Structure 1
Amino acid sequence: MKPNNWVGICVVMILLTSMKSVLADDDYVVYSPHVVKGQTELESRAYAVSDSRPGFAPSNGFLTSLGHTFTDYWKSEVYFTEYQHLPGTGNTLYGHEWENTFQLTDRGQYAVDWGFLAAYSQHILPGIADTLEFGPLIEKDSGRLQQRLNILAEKDLGSNATMRYALRGGYALSYRVTNQFQPGFEAYYRPIDNAHQIGPIIQGELFFPNGKEVEYALGVLKGLNNGAPQQVFIARISYEFF
């Protein structure tokens, strides 16, 4: 790995470790179906719940991952730290995850771009089942406007598994003022928790020489019903290079 890449990784890791806590379920992201062959990515996502009701506060999460795109259509990513802090507990290592993104169509080939996500999560806490998650990833670009939709199903595995599937959906809309500044909003729905959330997002991409780039996103999600936290702060950052 080139020395400049190590510098970038160190900068990202400093930012990541400055964020307190963790992420148990990888809910606060709307995936793109697109992959870039040969690109390596170091990524982190974090959230923090602000809600005075019992059972919600203080709960927060944090994860870090390392991924690489091996072909024109396949990206594989390993989440090597997944921590969570739930009410009445401290920060706890929750598990690890192996995630794969498959790009099914070329950009602009059809009315919308299609991909598929398949992920396996190994939970190390006692009594928590491992999970398999899968589903379609959809994206539509219309000039400066971009929309994404994910519809994912989760199934428990192992001795602690239940027979039912848990669905969740995510929708994102953003407007590219510049590459560095792309405001928009994200919305999430989890039927199993009866949780509806929506809120503004600011995101962007910073480009550097030799194909390096940093992507960021910051947002605040509001709960639309009693099953959702009243307010969730989310942050995402990734460093990508060849």
Structure 2
Amino acid sequence: MIDKIYHPYVQPLEQELEIRLLQQNNQSGIADNTRLYRLAYGRSLSDRLFIEAYLVGQGSSSESLDLQSIEMEIKWQLTEQGEYWADWGVLAELSKGIGNNIYEASIGLIAEKEFGHWSGTTNFIIEQEWGSGIDDELESVFSLQTRYRYSQTLEPGIEFYAGQNSIGVGPVLMGQAKLVGPKKLKWEAGVIFGLDSKSPDTSVRLLFEYEF
């Protein structure tokens, strides 16, 4: 799925509130202008572990917004930044549908490498879905982000996604504003264009994250 690309780092004593929006247009078998919303609260448990809980809602041009699932996510920073040729992390997630017995579990590897002002990040995630009334499915998703650290407030980049139901590439802008003390407001905005007939023509993604 086209969504947030994760970085491997965990900051000790950090808490965050996060809002994400994904809108996809013109995908075969999916209602037009499908919108996926995520509202989350997360906090670090140590200098290596971060846990986050999500409420996930979905709506479209023909369907009202409904709560679809709840999710729990854990990120584990495996290496210190700069310790090896790349920085590594692991991501694990479990979700349950609302009003049904559909579950999804995933586990993935995160890698990030800096080249001067450039930074490259990859996520490789394996997902398993099971439950009542659906076929058990095992899927893999690969995503790549390359960004240029122009300044703290503006980092342009390019993202690529490849999964069972979509392949896409497109530009993204991201940045952060430092607030009082350790508080920060981070943002991301991107437009991903589908590369095959199974993919949505366009996917617009937005993210706002308040760290405190």
Find out whether 1:89 has 2:60 as its counterpart: no
Find out whether 1:155 has 2:128 as its counterpart: yes
Which of the two has greater helix per residue? 1
Equivalent residue, structure 2, for 1:239:
210
Q: Does the aligned pair in 1 maintain the 2:20–2:39 contact within 8 Å? A: yes
Find out whether 1:142 has 2:121 as its counterpart: no
RMSD (Å), alpha carbons: 1.8
Q: Measure, in 2, the Cα distance between the counterparts of 1:85 and 1:237.
A: 19
Q: Measure, in 2, the Cα distance between the counterparts of 1:161 and 1:52.
A: 21
Return the match for 2:8 from 33, 57, 60: 33
Q: Measure, in 1, the Cα distance between the counterparts of 2:181 and 2:93.
A: 30
State the identity as a percent.
25
Return the match for 2:23 from 48, 64, 75: 48
- Mark the runs of 5 or more structure 1 residues left unpaired by the alignment: 1-24
Deviation (angstroms), 1:119:
0.6
Deviation (angstroms), 1:54:
6.1
Measured against aligned partners, the alpha-carbon deviations of 1:114-157 in whole angstroms (never above 9, x if no partner) come to 0000110011143x621101110111112211111000011124
Letter of the 2:112 counterpart: E
Aligned length: 212
Equivalent residue, structure 2, for 1:59:
34
Find out whether 1:210 has 2:184 as its counterpart: no
Q: Measure, in 2, the Cα distance between the counterparts of 1:104 and 1:82.
A: 28
Q: Does the aligned pair in 1 maintain the 2:69–2:96 contact within 8 Å? A: yes
Equivalent residue, structure 2, for 1:181:
154
Q: Measure, in 2, the Cα distance between the counterparts of 1:59 and 1:227.
A: 15
Measured against aligned partners, the alpha-carbon deviations of 1:86-130 in whole angstroms (never above 9, x if no partner) come to 56422111010000000000001111100000110011143x621
Find out whether 1:201 has 2:172 as its counterpart: yes
Q: Measure, in 1, the Cα distance between the counterparts of 2:28 and 2:82.
A: 46
Equivalent residue, structure 2, for 1:13:
none
Q: Does the aligned pair in 1 maintain the 2:105–2:129 contact within 8 Å? A: yes
- Report the secondary structure of 1:211's partner residue: coil
Measured against aligned partners, the alpha-carbon deviations of 1:16-48 in whole angstroms (never above 9, x if no partner) come to xxxxxxxxx6x4111001000100010111011
Which of the two has greater strand per residue? 2
- Mark the runs of 5 or more structure 2 residues left unpaired by the alignment: none
TM-score (norm 2): 0.94
Q: Measure, in 1, the Cα distance between the counterparts of 2:200 and 2:15.
A: 34
- Report the secondary structure of 2:181's partner residue: helix
Q: Does the aligned pair in 2 maintain the 1:214–1:240 contact within 8 Å? A: yes
Q: Does the aligned pair in 1 maintain the 2:27–2:198 contact within 8 Å? A: no
Letter of the 1:105 counterpart: T
Q: Measure, in 2, the Cα distance between the counterparts of 1:130 and 1:52.
A: 24
Q: Does the aligned pair in 1 maintain the 2:114–2:120 contact within 8 Å? A: yes
Equivalent residue, structure 2, for 1:167:
140
Greater RCO (CA < 8 Å, at least 6 residues apart): 2
Q: Measure, in 2, the Cα distance between the counterparts of 1:86 and 1:227.
A: 18
Q: Does the aligned pair in 2 maintain the 1:49–1:233 contact within 8 Å? A: yes
Return the match for 1:111 from 57, 69, 85: 85
